[in-house]
């Protein structure tokens, strides 16, 4: 067991890395070194001769994580990693389909459409078949299709219990037909088509089962139903599946993630000879003890979990600080004040994060930061490959690779404008539909006459000319040529704010060259663009792809689904808790801890919805390394209305001794009982001759006459104390506590 690879591993990490050949579930808590365990496990298998790179398949959830894994492995092992399959589910399925396109019944040069292009295609289907887009919103069909595919269902397999669903199934079938005709696949189709390939082609399935003796999966808690089924098909009876995940950090149910996959793993991947091994990584290397104790106390309230308890050798550290503000403006002012003091103490701004449950919360925070001249960045803005000018350039490139791509054709046939109006495009589409051809074929055949027909012919000639001109160019040179020859550069030069768009087009050239370098391809090799008849070079440029252009277009489509980190100078980080997953910061503010906001009101009506919200809160807490602030506001302007808030249940689930409450407010001479401070908002006591109950702003109450309501204000003390209550049916009332006979709701 003596090896430099095993140095500095704790006992649980060591056990995971050196496991014998059997499937294992590694329950890896936040900050427990799961990436290190995963990569060291692969290096250990290679170093000990238990595996070679060709027998390993490693699945990550982002392209960035895949690149990081390969970089770490290259530093850990001298083995040649070129033959190893490492990538996202979508990336690996793309690779598989490229290699078996005939068996999968897809064109050799199939194009991947991202979510925006998919929506545009759905809208085209609606226009072609006169579908009412108000009754059947295109985005709703997009979600319907994704959900069906993630469950492994084709249109004829979806059960329709009502007329609306039956129509959605019909629209799904129309969409499928267009995709098949044009040779395009969406993200969900990549996985479904790959799953169907493995399920129907025994020889191909058995070939992969013999090859991949070791399958390693990162972020296993985020797998959906179809991804889990794909893994089960791919893993033969002798394969060792090494699944690393944390059920307490499963927060993507809205994307289809199924946390139950972790609970099913031990049953589904065990054999009579080899039961699944469960190892818990509970030692945390990120946060101080008080932060971890807060996270542990919160998450233990969830019923549906495998169970673990984070701990650290770093000591307790500072207490977790909590603050209740009278309003969201006061909450923002408090945060600005603390951030300024932290900055004076030497904490870098980009090491501080402001987390919120809803994007709508950011406006007040941004306004306060702007007024205080504190630089900030809202994490998760428009991604590079989703920017309009970049998508225009990619559409031209897609036409060079596969001219029958109607989506790409429609995007740029009149952009930059060249005199082809909507009516002319309708005529072209009618002709293509009537003759069973693509728009490109219709355009080549002179389907429409007049000036518009001449303009379409000129566009076809432009694409053919670019294809000829770029055939001998490198990929980067080809992208640069397309930017110029298409007229995009000239078009944006005429725009007032076109400089930034031109810079993005120039950056696309760098992206193409960088892609080739990362793929270990010669950057000066000719692009080998397919001819108009689809002929390609005999030798593929990269395993699973036919030429550099097709590979780059697939890369661009897959990258558009990845979250990109904020870039540039040091600035405060603002983001939703979902966006913060996988990140860590010196100081974290979790804001808006109010019932209906966090946990979100939608979760109250969903099965296990509050448990997912609690996992989301757990993720928020465990982003902090040294300081954690929990804040909420008694009133908040949200969605155009003032909300009177009850403190989040998550605050009351944290033991009082772990929290240090900061500067509780004194409003209108309110008698504040600090002994109650730590459970909720400002507390007002009725100090009559008999000790009365304690009341707090934001508390739900009931009255014999007025019914249910929420305390929104209070004043006075003793026998003169009174509260203002917003009743659900009776409106706002002031009530004297001595006579009102209020009861907690």
- Residue 689 is predicted with a pLDDT of 34
- Residue 104 is predicted with a pLDDT of 95
Span 341-400, pLDDT tens digits: 999 999 999 999 999 998 778 878 888 898 898 998 888 655 678 788 999 999 999 999
Active site residue 219: yes
Pick the catalytic residue: 189, 219, 513, 547?
219
Pick the catalytic residue: 12, 34, 193, 477?
34
- Residue 607 is predicted with a pLDDT of 75
Residue 556 to residue 575: CA distance in whole angstroms:
24
Rg (the chain; Cα; Å): 29
Active site residue 249: yes
Pick the catalytic residue: 13, 39, 249, 591?
249
Span 396-455, pLDDT tens digits: 999 999 999 999 999 999 999 888 888 888 888 988 888 889 999 988 887 787 888 898
- Residue 361 is predicted with a pLDDT of 83
- Residue 608 is predicted with a pLDDT of 83
Residue 568 to residue 576: CA distance in whole angstroms:
20
- Which candidate, 631, 680, 711, places its Cα nearest to that of 357? 631
- Residue 370 is predicted with a pLDDT of 83
Lowest mean pLDDT of 220-234, 267-281, 291-305, name the range: 267-281
Torsion sign over Cα 11, 16, 19, 23: positive
Cis peptide before 431 (omega within 30 of 0): no
Pick the catalytic residue: 623, 627, 636, 722?
623
Confidence of residue 621 (pLDDT cuts 50, 70, 90): very high
Residue 589 to residue 630: CA distance in whole angstroms:
6
- Residue 686 is predicted with a pLDDT of 37
- Residue 512 is predicted with a pLDDT of 86
- Residue 383 is predicted with a pLDDT of 64
- Residue 290 is predicted with a pLDDT of 97
Interstrand relation of 641-644 and 659-661 (parallel, antiparallel or unpaired): unpaired
pTM of the model: 0.75
Pick the catalytic residue: 18, 35, 283, 441?
35
Confidence of residue 102 (pLDDT cuts 50, 70, 90): very high
- Residue 739 is predicted with a pLDDT of 74
At residue 684, φ and ψ (nearest 5 deg) are: -120, 130
Percent of the chain with pLDDT over 90: 55
Span 132-184, pLDDT tens digits: 988 898 989 999 999 999 999 999 999 988 999 999 999 999 999 999 999 99
- Residue 302 is predicted with a pLDDT of 94
Structure token digits, residue 5: 């690879």
- Residue 399 is predicted with a pLDDT of 94
Q: Evaluate whether 557 touches 376 at the Cβ level (below 8 Å).
A: no
Active site residue 35: yes
Q: Evaluate whether 56 touches 77 at the Cβ level (below 8 Å).
A: no
687 or 232, higher pLDDT? 232
Active site residue 623: yes
At residue 214, φ and ψ (nearest 5 deg) are: -130, 120
Distance between start and end Cα atoms, the chain: 62
Confidence of residue 738 (pLDDT cuts 50, 70, 90): confident
Average pLDDT over residues 228-248: 94
Average pLDDT over residues 468-496: 90
Pick the catalytic residue: 12, 117, 186, 218?
218
378 or 713, higher pLDDT? 378
Average pLDDT over residues 304-313: 92
Structure token digits, residue 344: 């004076």
pLDDT at 1 over 80: no
- Residue 146 is predicted with a pLDDT of 93
């Amino acid at each position: 067991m003596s090896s430099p690879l095993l140095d500095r591993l704790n006992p649980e990490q060591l056990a995971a890395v050196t496991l014998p050949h059997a499937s294992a579930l590694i329950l890896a808590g936040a900050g427990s070194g799961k990436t290190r365990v995963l990569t060291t496990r692969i290096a250990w298998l290679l170093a000990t001769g238990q595996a070679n790179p060709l027998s390993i398949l490693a699945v990550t959830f982002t392209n960035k994580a895949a690149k990081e894994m390969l970089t770490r492995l290259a530093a850990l092992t001298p083995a040649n990693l070129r033959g190893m399959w490492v990538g996202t589910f979508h990336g690996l399925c793309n690779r598989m389909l490229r290699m078996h396109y005939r068996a999968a019944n897809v064109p050799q040069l199939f194009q991947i459409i991202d979510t925006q292009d998919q929506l545009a295609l759905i809208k085209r289907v609606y226009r072609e078949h006169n579908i009412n887009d108000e009754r059947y919103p295109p985005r709703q069909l997009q979600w319907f299709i994704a959900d069906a595919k993630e469950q492994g269902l084709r249109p004829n397999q979806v059960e329709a219990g009502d007329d609306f669903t039956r129509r959605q199934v019909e629209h799904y079938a129309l969409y499928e037909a267009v995709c098949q005709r044009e040779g395009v696949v969406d993200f969900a189709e990549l996985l479904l088509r790959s799953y169907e390939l493995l399920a129907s082609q025994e020889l191909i399935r058995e070939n992969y089962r013999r090859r991949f003796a070791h399958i390693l999966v990162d972020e296993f808690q985020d797998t959906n139903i179809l991804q889990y089924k794909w893994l089960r098909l791919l893993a033969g009876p002798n394969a060792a599946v090494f699944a690393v995940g944390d059920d307490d950090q499963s927060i993507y149910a809205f994307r289809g993630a199924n946390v139950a996959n972790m609970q099913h793993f031990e049953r589904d991947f065990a054999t009579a000879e080899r039961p699944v091994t469960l190892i818990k990584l509970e030692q945390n290397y990120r946060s101080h003890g008080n932060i971890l104790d807060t996270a542990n106390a919160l998450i233990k309230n969830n019923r549906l979990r495998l169970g673990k308890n984070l701990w650290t050798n770093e000591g307790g550290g500072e207490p977790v600080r909590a603050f209740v503000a009278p309003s969201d403006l006061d909450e923002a002012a408090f945060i600005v004040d603390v951030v300024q003091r932290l900055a004076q103490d030497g904490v870098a701004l980009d090491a501080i994060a402001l987390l919120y449950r809803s994007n709508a919360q950011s406006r007040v925070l941004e306004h306060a930061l702007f007024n205080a001249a504190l630089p900030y960045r809202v994490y998760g803005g428009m991604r590079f490959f989703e920017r309009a000018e970049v998508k225009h350039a990619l559409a031209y490139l897609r036409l060079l690779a596969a001219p029958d791509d109607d989506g790409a054709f429609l995007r740029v046939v009149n952009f930059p404008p060249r005199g082809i109006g909507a009516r002319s495009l309708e005529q072209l589409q009618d002709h293509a539909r009537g003759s069973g051809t693509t728009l490109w074929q219709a355009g080549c055949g002179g389907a429409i006459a007049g000036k518009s027909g001449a303009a379409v012919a000129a566009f076809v000639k432009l694409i053919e000319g670019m294809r000829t001109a770029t055939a001998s160019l490198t990929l980067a040179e080809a992208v640069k040529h397309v930017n110029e020859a298409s007229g995009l550069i000239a078009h944006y030069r005429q725009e007032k704010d076109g400089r930034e768009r031109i810079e993005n087009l120039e950056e696309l050239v760098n992206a193409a060259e960088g892609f080739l370098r990362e793929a270990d391809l010669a950057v000066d090799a000719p692009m080998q663009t397919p001819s108009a008849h689809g002929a390609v070079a005999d030798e593929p440029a990269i395993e699973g792809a036919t030429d550099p252009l097709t590979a780059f277009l697939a890369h661009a489509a897959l990258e558009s689904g990845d979250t990109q980190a904020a870039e540039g100078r040091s600035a405060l980080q603002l983001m939703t808790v979902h966006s913060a997953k996988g990140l860590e910061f010196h100081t974290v503010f979790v804001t808006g801890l109010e019932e209906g906001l966090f946990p979100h009101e939608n979760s109250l009506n969903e099965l296990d919805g509050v448990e997912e919200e609690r996992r989301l809160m757990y993720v928020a807490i465990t982003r902090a390394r040294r300081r954690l602030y929990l804040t909420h506001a008694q009133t908040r302007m949200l969605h155009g209305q003032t909300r009177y808030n009850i403190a989040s249940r998550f605050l009351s689930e944290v033991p009082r001794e772990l929290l240090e409450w900061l500067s509780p407010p004194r409003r209108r001479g309110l008698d504040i009982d600090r002994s109650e401070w730590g459970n909720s908002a400002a507390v007002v006591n009725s100090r009559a001759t008999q000790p009365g109950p304690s009341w707090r702003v934001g508390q739900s109450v009931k009255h014999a006459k007025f019914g249910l309501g929420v305390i929104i204000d209070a004043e006075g003390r003793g026998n003169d104390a009174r509260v203002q209550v917003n009743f659900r049916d009776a409106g706002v009332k002031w009530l004297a506590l001595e006579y009102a006979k209020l009861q907690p709701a």
